[in-house]
Structure 1
Amino acid sequence: MIMLRRMMGFMVLNPLSGVIAVLAIIVLVASLLSPNFLTSYNMMIIARSLAFIGLITIAQSMLMILGELDLSLGAIGGFCGVIGGILMVQVGLPPWLAFALCLLIGALFGLVNGLLVTVLRLPSLVLTIGMAGVYGGLNLVLTRGVAITGIPSSIGFLGTGRWLGLPIPFWIMLVFLAIASFITLKTPFGRYMYAVGSNAPAARMLGIHVDRVRVGVFAFAGFLAALAGMLMVARLGSAQPSIGDSWVLGPIAAAVIGGVPTTGGIGTPLGAIFGAAIIGVIENIIVLFGISPYWQSMVSGAIVVLAISLDAISRRYFKRE
């Protein structure tokens, strides 16, 4: 019992060390049980999967540092992908222009979410559930549930290409992970984020524009969601209405596993990405070992519950100590 308390305390004080250790153990066990796990092909599959969910995880982790949540990010990503397909295929805009416009539209959607949260003073969890329905509904209105095909091949390499043996989306995710880490850890805006997440009233008394910080992070999160959606369109070669449907609970669980609590004030995007890697490896193991895919949803849900439960328990332990 004492050992368990010490381990829990270590993981609270050193969340990045703890999550890296857990990931290393999972990888070691999987590689011992299956010779196919550490193959270059399987690593590429994991990296590609991590790229898309990783962008949403970065966005969600920054919001969670603020003490906020945005459950509409998946819907924003899917809707921006559909808009991109319409602009490229039906309107005939140059692919790169359509891509850039969709990123701006995603940032605009995030901005709208942030303004609604700050102006109406509504809990972000409740409001973004409703906005997810709005964006998802507009998605279905535009597509009638049918995929938009004929995406120009000139942007296809963004989803299918490789560099140094790793998928291009993975490199793009690493670039934005570096940007997010720099913002949160090396800039005054990042310090404001932690201050707002720790104690918003106190931050306001110190002269920090709390609402501006919140709106800015929501807008950046929308941008990242749109980027993930457009990269998925490039990957599939079509704008599927279902893009983003699975980008809801996983990123939250990944952030919590990586040391970003739902209460805000601590954690880093890097830790959240390691959490996403743990979930990605577990899901890969399910497929690799021939476990029925019907179990994947149950396992993902169990990971979410376990992550949030361990976070709550560890925080109580930390306060008591």
Structure 2
Amino acid sequence: MKKYLILILIAILVVFLSGCVKQEPQPDKDLTQDQLNNIYATVINTDSDYAKNIDIYMDIPNVIFNQGSSLVSPINRSFNNLQISKSMSLKEAIKTPLEKITIEPENEWQGPDANGWYILQIDSGSYLKVRYYSSIKKLEYVLDGHSQLNNQVFGARAEGYFIFNKDIKNTIVDAYPVNLRSSYYFYSYTDPNKVNKVGLTISLENVSAVKLSSFNNFPVLTGKFSIYAIWIDFENNINVDNKLMISASSSVYGADTNDPILKISGSKDRDGDPITDDGYDNIYLELHLSLYLQ
């Protein structure tokens, strides 16, 4: 009898411990071509409402740091073969190659692979990957375009994730990201183990969507946001990965007017140079959203 009691207790313990093991969320592996196209068109497409919001936030460093001069100069020093204009903002410099990537109707998604990624091969040098978790409403993506000159590879990449307020598998209506993180950067290498990068990462947390009535109810994303610099240059021994450049909160004033304003308050890197570490200054900024939505 004692032996049976021990066996019963062991069985109960096994069941209890198995229930305590944390189950990792698994990516969806049953997405259709239509669902994948819808996700691309509404979330990742450079003309989408979400991409326009990221454009607005990525312009903030250019406004704060003297039209981007401080943050563009590293690109000229590290990636001069890309022929980037010194007057071009970092946002323009990084996103221009990606915006040239066009997805044709005949392109078909492949996958998912063992890790849940679906891939859309756009051409020989560019592709889009997405992975979606309906259980946690999270979408991950990578958009990459690159070319090779002699033995050196040059490319531009956008990657990140959105966590939505609702499941977007079948519809994006009334959905918006409550958290997001997006990185845009140039890269180059001759040795794939030594990849040089220059770019920015933006994160938004505790997001709300404020609709602008005078602009077709365009949803402006507001919340706590941070902008980080990426500058990795093996030749010059520079290793700056996610250096915090701006930490602030945003809110919309005048959402029902013809001149809605995005108010920014928080702190910024003192000199705008991602290498130096000389502290932060307070900032307050007002962006007239009509300039971005015309």
Q: Work out which of the two has the higher radius of gyration on C-alpha atoms and give 1 or 2.
A: 2
More strand, by proportion: 2
Fold equivalence (TM over 0.5):
no
